[in-house]
Amino acid sequence: MSKITRYTGLIVLGDLLRGKKVIDCGCGEGAWLRILQQLLEPSLLLGIDFDFYKLKKAGGHCADACYALSDLENLGVREGAFDYFFCVETLEHIHQRDNSAVFDSIYNVLGQGGRLLVSTPGNRGYCMGGTAHCQFLSRKNLMSLLVDDGRFSLRARAVYYKYGRTPTMGPYNFSNLMVFEKEV
């Protein structure tokens, strides 16, 4: 499954509206920001990444976006300023010990009824097999971290897309796509 499929899947699942304020966390070189710009026509589009060199290239992909060098724990964004927060294949790169601070930070930047749109690898073997991933976040893990404490409610159920093969692991992945809504 390509990243474009994950982004469009989350947009459809989340029943997202045009003209809202959108963050794409872990935006890298900004290629997917252009897709968000075309599909959502946001009033504000912010790409965040912790890699300075990737962000330098990002403006070439989507000149209409703003960019910030940041990590998920210290977003440096005003509380309640955004409507939609995309984390597409990003959260698994965060150490488990940082989950609470990360989800607090995301919760704080979303406005009332804001939506967190998440895609994570669904196959533990692929997720933790020699990659830069620090944790495996299953549907159950995400529900426990986000819903059980009352910060978010699940707006759209997980959807799985199977894709790809590797010689050693066979069918190697599918993604959990989940949309959460901020509780007030």
pLDDT single digits (tens) 35-69: 899 999 999 999 999 999 998 888 788 888 999 99
pTM, full prediction: 0.88
Read off the pLDDT of residues 140-180 as tens digits, 9 standing for 90 and up. Answer: 888 898 998 888 999 887 655 555 554 444 444 577 888 99
pLDDT class of 102 with cuts at 50, 70, 90: very high
- State mean pLDDT over 98-104: 91
Query: What's the pLDDT score for residue 3?
Result: 67
Least confident of 25-29, 88-92, 167-171: 167-171
Nearest to 70 by CA among 25, 133, 122: 25
Q: How far apart are CA 130 and CA 113, in angstroms?
A: 37
CB 25 within 8 A of CB 77: no
pLDDT bin (cut points 50, 70, 90) of residue 30 is confident
The H helix count followed by the E strand count for the chain is 6, 7
pLDDT in the model for residue 170: 46
Tell me the domains of the chain and their CATH numbers. Answer: 3-159 (3.40.50.150)
Task: Tell me what pLDDT residue 110 has.
Answer: 97
How much of the chain, in percent, has pLDDT values that exceed 70?
Answer: 83
Q: What's the rounded Cα separation, in Å, for the pair 121 and 180?
A: 17
In this predicted structure, what is the pLDDT of residue 22? 97
Q: Who's near 9: CB < 8 A, 6+ residues apart?
A: 119, 159, 161, 177
Residue 104 has pLDDT above 90, yes or no: yes
Statement: residue 25 has pLDDT above 90 = yes
